[in-house]
Amino acid sequence: MLKKVLIANRGEIAVRIVRACAEMGIRSVAIYTEPDRYGLHVKRADESYSLGDDPLAGYLDPARIVNLAVETGCDAIHPGYGFLSENANFARLCEQKGVAFIGPKSSVIHGMGDKTQARDSMRAAGIPITPGSEGNLDSLEEALKLANDIGYPVMLKATSGGGGRGIRRCDTPQELKVQYPRVISEATKAFGSAEVFMEKCIVNPRHIEVQILADSQGNAIHLFERDCSIQRRNQKLIEIAPSPQLTPEQRQYIGDLAVRAAKAVGYENAGTVEFLLSGNEVHFMEMNTRVQVEHTITEAITGVDIVREQLRIASGLPLSYRQEDIQYRGYALQFRINAEDPKNDFLPSFGRITHYYAPGGPGVRVDTAIYTGYEIPPYYDSMCLKLVVWALTWDEVIARGKRALDDMRLHGIKTTANYYQQILEHPDFRKGIFNTSFVPDHPELLNYSTKRHPSEIALALAATIAAHAGW
């Protein structure tokens, strides 16, 4: 078993990994830059080390992080998600230094990170993929010809992209001419690569992803699916497990596809295979070679601690479960509570949290690194907490979600919580009928009230006075 793990991340996912390490008797090492000096992951880890004043440079320096792991006696690094989690060079450097990378091999990260290579691998394994380019596009002329052949609309995508960036939908040749240089520019800035490819746009699909686990002994299983269709501009907002929109036959089929995909590329550790569903047609979209933000809801319905399994797999141990051991029970929702103002085009709302009260009760989980008095820095992702609710039935989980969102008190910044209440009230969502166009098709959901109850106003005033008085 691993003895000491450096966590190459920050915020709630770093706290999540610290907790898993503590339960397994593994020492945890946190890293931080100056804005995170008072971060919860720094307070909770067994050891912590500064990476300097620059908010981002330290978290993005593979050599420095790996060297620090060696210097502090760590035998493994957990990358979390974001930052260097899907950086093949980072994983390769760990391999060279004899430090276990808690994730797949560097070659797999590279292969799945290159979207055209990933499509080739899935095609060879018999996994259905969307029609599109068989490699990277070399010119606008090639893009126009291919789009004409497969039919509009089409999606231009950065080959090395991820996280919803480097993607543009084009409905006409004119739009393609405009968006082609934009995607190349965005891809170059965000991912350091100008390579792009094209896929047929699956109009109004459901976005379904499957959680997989695989060990070094060749065992691979799935933990059922998550429905991530509630998204805005390719950024997920609310995630659901399992999908209320799949039949048992579809669930088994897509789960089997995910396991086949994992075995085809020699996958190890936790990962996610993402699909687009249109009617009964299933299309592979991508494989995420890391733990997902929304792993929480899979844990809620299956009882499997995914991060614990990651640590076991990285220790060379076999999976704790066989496929027949995995069952799911009930439904779970995850709300990404972002520091954003939905009424102002989701503009980030960074600043000091003057008062925070976490919701609780049966079937409620909160993963976060915030606290009253915490200053949300403007340098990182705007998500400040993940609210997860579980219940036996679909109607009950919606009711629990509404109650938990109403329980939460988070003052000093604007958040997406009230907007999510509106989504839960919508008849189509309550019926479990939605796809990736749900958010853009319902702009009226932004017309919610921002008036506070008198007790909330009094509480916010008291918190502000206490903060200025130094209580």
DSSP, residue by residue, 236-283: EEEEEES-TT--HHHHHHHHHHHHHHHHHTT--EEEEEEEEEETTEEE
Active site residue 452: no
Mean confidence (pLDDT) of the chain = 94
pLDDT above 70: residue 453: no
Pick from 80, 82, 76: nearest CA to 56 = 82
Residue 126 falls inside a structural domain: no
Do 241 and 313 belong together in one domain? yes
At 34, the pLDDT band (50, 70, 90 cuts) reads: very high
At 456, the pLDDT band (50, 70, 90 cuts) reads: low
pLDDT above 90: residue 300: yes
DSSP, residue by residue, 342-368: GGGTTEE--EE-SEEE---STTEEEEE
pLDDT above 60: residue 457: no
- Token pair of 435 as six digits: 């796809």
pLDDT score for 95: 97
Do 173 and 83 belong together in one domain? no
At 190, the pLDDT band (50, 70, 90 cuts) reads: confident
Give the tens place of pLDDT for each residue, 93-143. 999 999 999 999 999 999 999 989 999 999 999 999 999 998 899 999 999
* 59 beta partners: none
At 449, the pLDDT band (50, 70, 90 cuts) reads: confident
Q: Is the dihedral of CA 378, 366, 276, 345 positive or negative?
A: negative
Within 10 angstroms of residue 362's Cβ, the number of other Cβ atoms is 8
pTM: 0.92
Residue 122 falls inside a structural domain: no
pLDDT above 70: residue 467: no
Query: What is d(CA 411, CA 416) in angstroms, rounded to the nearest whole number?
Result: 12
**Residues 274/365, Cβ–Cβ less than 8 Å:** no
Do 138 and 98 belong together in one domain? no
Higher confidence at residue 258 or residue 191? Answer: 258
Give the tens place of pLDDT for each residue, 50-98. 999 999 999 999 999 999 999 999 999 999 999 999 999 999 999 999 9
Residue 109 falls inside a structural domain: no
Within 10 angstroms of residue 316's Cβ, the number of other Cβ atoms is 12
Structural domain boundaries enclosing 53: 4-102
Do 426 and 377 belong together in one domain? yes
Burial 17-28 (b: 16+ CB within 10 A, else e): bbbbbeebebbb
* 105, 270, 273, 302, 382 from 265: Cα distances, Å: 10, 13, 12, 25, 33
Do 261 and 282 belong together in one domain? yes
Do 266 and 381 belong together in one domain? yes
* 197 beta partners: 157
pLDDT score for 332: 99
Query: Could you say which of 206, 226, 251, 290 is catalytic?
Result: 290
Q: Summarize the confidence of residues 302-306 as an average pLDDT.
A: 98
Residue 465 falls inside a structural domain: no
The number of folded domains in the chain is: 3
Residue 467 falls inside a structural domain: no
Q: Is the dihedral of CA 225, 228, 78, 338 positive or negative?
A: negative
At 161, the pLDDT band (50, 70, 90 cuts) reads: confident
Query: What is d(CA 118, CA 116) in angstroms, rounded to the nearest whole number?
Result: 5
pLDDT above 90: residue 35: yes
At 318, the pLDDT band (50, 70, 90 cuts) reads: very high
pLDDT score for 468: 56
